[in-house]
Amino acid sequence: MTAQPDLAVAPLPPLPHWESTPADLPSAIRVVKAALRARIEASGRTVEEVFAVVEQRVRARVEEIAAARGRGETIWPIIEYADIAAGTVSPEALAKLRQRGCLVVRGHFDRQQALDWDRDIVDYVESNRFFETYRGPGDDFFGSVGSKPEIYPIYWSSAQMQARQSDRMARVQAFLNSQWKHESDGVRWFDPDRDSLYPDRIRRRPPGADSNGLGTHLDPGTLDLWMTEAYQRAFRHLFDGTVEEYDPWDAAHRTAGPQYPGSTMCSAFRTFQGWTALSDMDNDQGVLHTVPIPEAMAYLMLRPLLPDVPEDDMCGVTVNQVFPVSERWHPLLLEALSGIPDVRAGDSVWWHCDMIHSVAPVRDQQGWGNVMYIPAAPWCPRNERYSAAVRDAFRTGSSPTDFPAEHYERSWSNRFQADDLNSTGRRGLGLD
Ligand SMILES: [Fe+2]
């Protein structure tokens, strides 16, 4: 008697995918939604059942955060830089970091060092008559800030490069990268100990400023999150009936695939987004907020498949705009929105790349609100690809290709020079 094949699992239906932006977006959305639903249902579960699992998991986190807030606890985890450097971060602190997916690193840099960097940046832009020649915002994402810049499209100051290539930055980035599962199925998805030096801008918001802030949104992608083959694999557990196995810390299939171009895109894979404070900031002065629940990504990915969402709509997600998170579609998630605690110059702030975030509005801001954006973007095929463009921008003082083509620094002779790179900087740029 031969073995019966009755235990064999029927193959799941394949998913259509688009490796570049589909020409007809509403039609592609209809097609991919139908295919994702069919795939989930082929596993023997309904979309509603799968979504309910995620909703329950997220709801438990939302309630836990509300309870912690009720007890007067700080929602954002805080870890001292000295503990990261000495390898003495407690298991409890690590668990909280993984649970909340965001972190304040206290004393990442000496406070005076950070204040000196802030002053150096002012000297750098003033010596090049930046304020006299500023042409206004180069993109519409931060377009509400008016004629005096709040976001400086400056990438190559000594201060920024010193921070990016510093040992202290490399240690924290390696620590954060190592929270992710970076090897599986015989593939090393990224190198946790090598950063790819992702150049980004500076924010300097002066005392007295009024700012509308930024609404709740997500940065890792838009429709490509559902439509490219790599992301469909990265989020495989959400669509194949094994939703319980979805792990927001698994980097598999996330570090080589394409992204749909857009005015607010990030070509790099970042384990965490981050910034380093260049001024002291109180928690009620228009600061960063997150929904500190890494699993919320599963909710965002599955929510458009429920029947109350129009067939050609992904809960408002489309290309060339940030991924919106709204009261209309995601009220449960927004209940957990939590701001950073007070930070001091030299502290750094980090949040998981899939994490919902916003910047609160402020009127008549007290004190400065100055940060330099430096993420953790470990070396991987996607970041290696982008590093060619970064090297070119570095050599010529240009704006990196992920950002508006403003190029203020091309003629600024006192920008950071190749001779000033250390080994971390050279490795980060792919020069060694
Ligand atoms: Fe963002």
DSSP assignment of 146-210, as one string?
A: -SS-SEE-----HHHHHHHT-HHHHHHHHHHHTTSB-EETTEE--EEEEE------EEEE-TT--
Q: How far is the CA of 209 from the centre of ligand 1 (A)?
A: 20
Q: How many whole angstroms from 220 Cα to the centroid of ligand 1? A: 9
Count Cβ atoms within 10 A of the Cβ of residue 132 and give its class: 0-12 exposed, 13-18 middle, 19 or more buried. Answer: exposed
**Which chain residues have CB less than 5 Å from ligand 1, an ion?**
219
Listed residue (297, 282, 276, 288) closest to 372, CA to CA: 276
pLDDT values of the chain reduced to their tens digit, one per residue, 432 residues? 444 444 445 678 889 999 999 999 999 999 999 999 999 999 999 999 999 999 999 999 999 999 999 999 999 999 999 999 999 999 999 999 999 999 999 999 999 999 999 999 999 999 999 998 888 877 655 544 445 688 999 999 999 999 999 999 999 999 999 999 999 999 999 999 999 999 999 999 999 999 999 999 999 999 999 999 999 999 999 999 999 999 999 999 999 999 998 877 789 999 999 999 999 999 999 999 999 999 999 999 999 999 999 999 999 999 999 999 999 999 999 999 999 999 999 999 999 999 999 999 999 999 999 999 999 999 999 999 999 999 999 999 999 999 999 999 999 999 999 999 999 999 999 998
Q: Tell me, in angstroms, the distance from the centre of ligand 1 to residue 4's CA.
A: 53
State the distance from the centre of ligand 1 to the C-alpha of 268, rounded, in angstroms. 14
What CA–CA distance (Å, rounded) separates 273 from 291?
14
Task: Give me the pLDDT at residue 270, please.
Answer: 98
Hey, what are 418's tokens?
Answer: 């190749």
Structure tokens at 31: 């097609």
Task: Output the CA 202–ligand 1 centroid distance in Å.
Answer: 14
pTM over 0.75: yes
CA of residue 219 to ligand 1 center, whole Å? 5
- Taking the centre of ligand 1 as the mean of its atom positions, its distance from the CA of residue 217, in whole angstroms, is 6
pLDDT of residue 10: 64
Give 11 Cα–ligand 1 centroid separation in angstroms. 38
* Token pair recorded at residue 344: 């001091």
